[in-house]
Amino acid sequence: MDSFEINKIAGAFLFSLLLILGVQNLASILYDTDEANPLSYPIEMASHDADAHGDGDAVVEAGPTLAQLLATADITKGAKVAKKCAACHTFDDGGANKIGPNLFGIVGRQTAQVAGFNYSSPMSALGGNWGFEELNAFLEKPSAYVSRTAMSFAGLRKPGDRANILAYLNSLGSNVALPAVEIPAAPAVEAPAAE
């Protein structure tokens, strides 16, 4: 190899370094990543609902409760949603463990208790039972419910999907009674005054 070849290789290497540094500097100019000023104040915006009611207090409408969603949940739709889980879990009685444990009879079962499955330390330390509320919170975002869990599933964002899969899981050997749906009390009606 002659000196001309060595110069070409060294030149290509230096050009690559200059190109990388140039792209980094350009990116830092285009995308400012400074932290927010800690002395600033958050601006509270009046919601559209508050203006419509005219009282200045925003009315926050809560969605249906988990009990209400479970009362109308569809087991067939839950089985379809559970197909997202089938790559890592089995659902049949006595089914083998895959990347995740078998989920037959999970509702009401103690956490981290499937025989022959090696749970992560955070999951083993969780304790308690898998009730509807616990499973709902876990399925919404597993990493938020059990930090450092080995489960890489992002979660189910739709409450209806979670209710359907919970109804499906409950039908698989658990048959735990669904939570009672609280019916709001009817407003009191005053009788007209006698004249």
Q: How far apart are CA 182 and CA 65, in angstroms?
A: 9
pTM: 0.62
Nearest to residue 79, comparing CAs of 88, 68, 91, 97? 91
- Mean pLDDT, consecutive 10-residue stretches, the chain (195 aa), reads 88 94 85 64 57 50 83 93 92 92 93 91 91 93 89 89 94 87 65 62
Which whole-number Å values give the CA distances from 158 to 24, 41, 155, 163, in the listed order?
39, 33, 9, 9
The pair of structure tokens assigned to 60 is 């926050």
Q: Is the dihedral of CA 44, 47, 53, 58 positive or negative?
A: negative
Q: How far apart are CA 43 and CA 46, in angstroms?
A: 10
pLDDT of residue 111: 92
CATH of domain 66-171: 1.10.760.10
With vertex at residue 182, the alpha carbon angle to CA 57 and CA 127, rounded to the nearest 5 degrees, is: 95
pLDDT of residue 172: 92
DSSP state, residue 151: -
Nearest to residue 106, comparing CAs of 177, 172, 179, 163? 172
| Domain residue ranges of the chain, discontinuous segments joined by + | 66-171
CB of 156 closer than 8 Å to CB of 132:
no
pLDDT of residue 51: 47
pLDDT of residue 164: 94
Residue 43 φ/ψ, nearest 5 degrees: -95, 120
pLDDT of residue 4: 86
